[in-house]
């Protein structure tokens, strides 16, 4: 029997309500390489190809936002040659993908302690963020030197600074204010978090934002996760019932059932 093309699969996914914002913890590059007797950096390189393919597919199906956990605050503690290899790959990616990102109306964004990145990554990153600022088809956010706790600390510090200056009453601190003060301000609510490689943890990724996100774990290693696998996750999401604290009967009775928050 002939198997469906990726275009058929994507068009089926597109015909049903989609998550607005998907976050991915791209795990398993090192194991992928080690299983093939290759240096770990080759796993990261193949993982970059997955980044390209998954981003293309996300754009084709019409996700509003895709956030990729590319380098955590804790990843600085890895061996220096692996950190340097990852930084080289990031620079390469930003230079190589620039045209495609711009041609496809994608806004490139980044969250994390970006001032910790070396200048040879920071420069192409800042340039592409500025060049793509007005694009609206999809926001691709790279979480770089990112940690959810670090983000919450930065948010708390900004709120405290405003209060200390008399610009903010404690009673005015609300969920909306926290949302607007986080690095992810302006992004749609996070609807789905995907983690590859069989691990079942959030590992400091979008801690506040994932409060009501659906979680999807797959055994596949990130270099083996491509457009088809993204569509499988989206299909699973479309078959789940999101209740936001209500009962199933209440959700069923809503006049319009939406798959998004
Ligand atoms: C986790 O796998 C992955 C990372 C720490 C880096 C992710 C980076 C990429 C996918 C490539 C570069 C990114 C972009 C945006 C071009 P791991 O090394 O922890 O895997 P392991 O658990 O098998 O060792």
Report pLDDT for 255.
65
- For 151-176, what is each residue's pLDDT tens digit? 999 999 999 999 999 999 999 999 99
Structural domains of the chain in order of their starting residue, each with its CATH number? 6-154+189-260 (3.40.1180.10)
Residue nearest to atom 16 of ligand 1 (CA): 48
Instruction: Give 260's pLDDT tier (boundaries 50, 70, 90).
Output: very low
Quick one: average pLDDT of 78-95? 98
The per-residue pLDDT for 1 is 62
Which residue, 245, 252, 205, 214, is CA-closest to 73? 205
Q: Which residue of the set 29, 75, 104, 191 is catalytic?
A: 75
pLDDT exceeds 80 at position 16 = yes
Atom of ligand 1 nearest to the CA of 43: 18
Q: What is each CA distance from 43 to 58, 146, 156, 168, 240, in whole angstroms?
A: 22, 21, 37, 47, 32
Q: What is the mean pLDDT of the chain?
A: 95
What is the pLDDT, as a whole number, of residue 247? 82
pLDDT score at 261: 40
Average pLDDT over residues 101-113: 98
As a whole number, mean pLDDT of residues 19-32 equals 98
Residue 246 CA: distances (Å) to CA of 19, 240, 249, 251, 255: 19, 14, 8, 7, 15
In tens, the pLDDT along 44-60 reads: 999 999 999 999 999 99
- Say whether 126 is catalytic: no
Angle in degrees, CA 126, 131, 133, rounded to 5: 90
CA-CA distance, 242 to 193, in Å (whole number)?
14
Backbone angles phi, psi at 17, to 5 degrees: -60, 135
Distance 197 CA to ligand 1 centre (A): 11
Q: How sure is the predictor about 211, in pLDDT bands with cuts at 50, 70 and 90?
A: very high
Coil/strand/helix, residue 145: strand
Cα 245 to Cα 165: distance, rounded to the nearest angstrom: 37
pLDDT at 251: 80
pLDDT in tens, 227-259: 999 999 999 999 987 667 888 888 888 765 444
Which one is catalytic: 8, 27, 135, 179?
Answer: 27
């Amino acid at each position: 029997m002939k198997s469906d093309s990726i275009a058929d699969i994507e068009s089926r996914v597109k015909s049903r309500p989609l998550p607005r914002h998907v976050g991915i913890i791209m795990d398993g590059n090192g194991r992928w390489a080690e299983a093939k007797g290759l240096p770990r950096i080759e796993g990261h390189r193949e993982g970059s190809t997955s980044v390209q393919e998954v981003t293309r597919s996300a754009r084709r199906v019409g996700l509003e936002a895709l956030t990729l956990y590319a380098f955590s605050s804790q990843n600085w503690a890895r061996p220096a040659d692996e950190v340097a290899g990852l930084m080289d790959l990031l620079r390469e990616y930003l230079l190589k993908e620039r045209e495609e990102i711009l041609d496809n109306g994608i806004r490139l964004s980044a969250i994390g302690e970006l001032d910790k990145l070396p200048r040879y990554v920071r420069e192409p990153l800042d340039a592409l963020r500025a060049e793509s600022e007005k694009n609206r088809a999809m926001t691709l956010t790279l979480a770089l030197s990112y940690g959810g706790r670090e983000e919450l600390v930065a948010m708390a510090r900004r709120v405290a600074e405003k209060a200390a200056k008399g610009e903010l009453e404690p009673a005015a601190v609300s969920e909306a204010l926290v949302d607007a003060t986080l690095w992810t301000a302006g992004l749609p609510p996070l609807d789905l978090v995907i983690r590859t490689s069989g691990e079942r943890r959030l590992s400091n990724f979008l801690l506040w934002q994932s409060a009501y996100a659906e979680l999807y774990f797959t055994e596949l290693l990130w270099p083996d996760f491509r457009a088809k696998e993204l569509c499988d996750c989206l299909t699973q999401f479309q078959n789940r019932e999101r209740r936001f604290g209500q009962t199933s009967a209440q959700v069923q009775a809503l006049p319009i059932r939406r798959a998004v928050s």
